[in-house]
Chain A
Amino acid sequence: MAIANESHQEEHNMQEHHGAGRYVVIWVVLLVLTLVTVFTGRMHLPDFGLLLALVIASVKGTLVALYFMHLSEHRGANRLVFGVSIVFVVLLIGFTLMDFGTRFRLANPPGSQYSDLQAVDIGANKAEGRQGGHLDEKQKKETHE
């Protein structure tokens, strides 16, 4: 029975007792990576800042999943479930971005980077910005006069 063998192997892996040292090492690495990501984040790198931050976060996340959550010792379906969930996260975000990236420009909300309509075009000046087209008291008076 394959599933019983898997369970046996997983049980064996989990029983094999390694010292607390491994957790301490992972903890220290996580703290160092946090400092690295704060440091690189504060540099405000123009294009790849978010990408770099996400790469560092993925490394941290992998360490947490593999060692704190014992994924490295788990077998079979238990590993598959986690992997598949990550694949679906990538699909969800990837296809959303592909949709937004290939849209007809006018389909994007006014004021966004990929729209021809900016705040001024919809009747808002810089100071009113997001209020979009509302006139302040002074302007109202002017139009009434």
Chain B
Amino acid sequence: MSSAHVTPGSVPGPKLAAHFASLEVQKHAARLGMWLFLATEILLFAGLFACYAAYRFLFPEAWAACSRELDLTMGTINTVVLITSSFTAAMAVHYAKEGKNKMVGHMFVLTLLMAVAFLVIKYFEYKHKFHIGTLPGRYYFYEGIQLPGAPLYFTVYFASTALHGLHVIIGMTVLMFSTVRAYRVGDFSANNYTMVELGSMYWHLVDLVWIFLFPMLYLV
């Protein structure tokens, strides 16, 4: 972004950094950087998925019993909410390409509202678990399921949903910047939408992780 030179008389848009051959190459590189970052994110969650696989293999009965203890209705609502928020984030990119900045803002506001809804539902799920005692490791005190491996299931449950929740919050922060820019500056156009696109890609990753977490945790 620094050391930029803009050819005079060109349409206002992103600045071309001196070390890129053209704007096309610069955008391509921005996406490559984002994909590399998302790859590290995928591998971060893969560590938890490997934990899940190992302990599911060892304790299938506890896994089945504990997953039935979760609130499937809340989980399903959360999945629908997150998929819909992903859809509105994709629509924001669509409108950014058309230069409709107001609509970009509106779409991201909808996405953010659904993100808040997701976290609120998650809060009630957590609260219930703290109440009945389905907690990780030695904090487990639920009488209903006394199987070896049950506290491990909730270790995996809390670790993965909490890490995912953290990503929801980070994603919301990222999208907030784009929202404010869309409303205040309003300079997104077919020529300049990388910020919206990459922010929305991050949000889709959050959705992607949940798409796998949901059946793994709620439906085994």
The judgment on whether A and B are partners is yes
Interface-side segment among B7-15, B123-131, B146-154? B146-154
Partner of A101, one of B57, B201, B211, B212: B57
Contact (Cβ within 8 A) B84 A27: yes
Question: Given A57-B211, A82-B38, A89-B43, is A7 in contact with B22 using a C-beta cutoff of 8 Å?
Answer: yes
Chain A residues whose C-beta falls within 8 Å of the C-beta of B91 in the assembled complex: 20, 23
Chain B residues whose C-beta falls within 8 Å of the C-beta of A70 in the assembled complex: 93, 197, 201
Chain A residues whose C-beta falls within 8 Å of the C-beta of B89 in the assembled complex: 68
Report the nearest A residue to B23, measured CB to CB: A11
Tell whether B218 is near chain A: CB-to-CB under 8 Å. Answer: yes
Question: Given A7-B27, A34-B79, A68-B90, is A130 in contact with B219 using a C-beta cutoff of 8 Å?
Answer: no
Chain B residues whose C-beta falls within 8 Å of the C-beta of A101 in the assembled complex: 57
Complex CA distance for A54 and B216, rounded to whole angstroms: 8
Contact (Cβ within 8 A) A129 B216: no
Main secondary structure of the interface of A (DSSP, over half): helix
Binding site for A on B (CB under 8 A): 21-22, 24-25, 27-28, 31-32, 35-36, 38-39, 42-43, 46-47, 49-50, 53-54, 56-61, 64, 72, 76, 79-80, 83-84, 86-87, 89-91, 93-94, 97-98, 140, 146-151, 190, 197, 200-201, 204-205, 207-208, 211-212, 214-216, 218-220
Binding site for B on A (CB under 8 A): 1, 3-4, 6-8, 10-11, 14-15, 17, 20, 23-24, 26-27, 30-31, 34, 37-38, 41-42, 44, 49-50, 53-54, 56-57, 60-61, 64-65, 67-70, 74-78, 81-82, 84-86, 88-89, 92-93, 96-97, 100-101, 108-114, 118-119, 126-130
